[in-house]
Structure formats: C-alpha cells, structure tokens
Amino acid sequence: QVQCHTYTGYCWCVTPDGKPISGSSVQNKTPVCSGSVTDKPSSQGNSGRKDDGSKPTPTMETQPIFDGEEITAPTLWIKHLVIKDSKLNSSSIRNSEKVHSCDQERQSALEEARQNPREGIVIPECAPGGLYKPVQCHQSTGYCWCVLVDTGRPLPGTSTRYETPVCESDARSKSTEIDDPFKDRELPGCPDGKKVEFITSLLDALTTDMVQAINSAAPTGGGR
C-alpha cells in the first residue's frame, strides 16, 4: 500500500499494519510498492518498518484500528524545514527561519484536520507562552514522542506506542542569535538537488530509527 503526506509531497510504502517501509519514500511521485511485503514478519528487514516521524498518541484502546486510514508521514520538524527552505532566497535569512508558535501551528492543524478529516493530521499540544508540551502524540496511531518545547521538533529515538515517553520538561533548541557564529554572514541557499537528497535520507534514517524502537519495545508474545 502507498501512504502520502499532502503537506510535504512525500509518499512511501507501508505494511498492512501501517508501518512505513524504510527507503521507499519519494517526493512528488508515487513509489513502486511490492506486494510481497504484506505478510512478512516484523522481526527485521524492510517489513517491520516504522512510522518516520508520524506523531502518535497513547489511547486507551488495546488494539490499533488503522485499516484504510492514512498515517501522517514526517513530523512537525519536516514541516518547519519546508517552510524555511521556501524562504532561503529572502533577503532576511535570519528572520525567515523563525518558526511559528505552538498556538499558531495548532490553529493551522485544526483547520487542516477540519478540511481533511481522514488524513490523520497531527494536532500539537501547547503550553502557555506559545510553547509546545514536551510530549506530543498522534491519536489515530497510538504513538507519542518527545519534542523541543520552543520549536516542536521531535527528538529522535523517543517515540513510544500506547505509553507516555519520559521527556525533559524544558528541552530547547541550542541555537540562539546571540551566539550564532554565522549571524553576520550571508549564507547561500542549499541547491534543490542537495536539499531533496538530504530530506529524503533524513526521512529514511528516522524511519529506520522508529522501526528499531518499535521492535525493541514490542512484546514478543503478540500485541497488547
């Protein structure tokens, strides 16, 4: 099966239980998915691939129900990357890299979810002052993960399913304009080819990381 993320234009292959296949993501085109992945065990290899950043949330259900439902692909940080990259040609590069507050992202996500109710849009959970709550979740898939509270960027390796991960309550981005060594330098934008190559490889790496996290945490006797 093929799943897509309309905001970023990425599509990828998934197993019957909705887990993305590492290395199958492509942008602005439909990947060629082999039917042979449907019944492979999730012990190792490409079959047990994990959500590449899909933001999930622990629900009280004992079994996930995603037949026919789309799983949102990359996480909020991918959305921020796309926003930033689209502004690299602006004369004020520093200003263009400022991300929206959690409240703004939440309003945007709620509106998108209203217009596309079946796309499994991730709705950010916000704290006072426009910050993100340290734990973010995806209701339809049952995954939760830790984020930087000032940008909402997920922290790799922190995702869990049907349980709440232990997250730092005030993890923030390290970069600030005060100690930015490139603050006074005009930096060239990343060429389109390199940009696509980087984002694709990053998605693949995060997919693999999530698969490994699921396989190591999942009980061997079957799902709960």
Closest alpha carbon to 146 in 167, 118, 169, 171: 167
The rounded distance, in Å, linking the Cα atoms of 96 and 118 is 32
Q: Residue-wise pLDDT tens for the chain (224 aa)? A: 788 776 667 788 888 777 778 778 888 888 888 764 444 444 444 444 444 555 443 433 333 333 333 344 444 444 444 444 454 444 444 444 455 689 999 999 899 888 888 778 888 999 998 899 999 998 888 889 999 998 888 888 888 888 889 998 888 887 544 555 666 677 777 788 888 888 888 888 888 888 887 777 666 555 54
pLDDT tens-place string over residues 175-203 = 544 555 666 677 777 788 888 888 888 88
State the fold for domain 53-175+190-217. Invariant Chain; Chain I (4.10.800)
- pTM of the entire predicted model: 0.38
β-pairing, 160-161 vs 143-146, is antiparallel
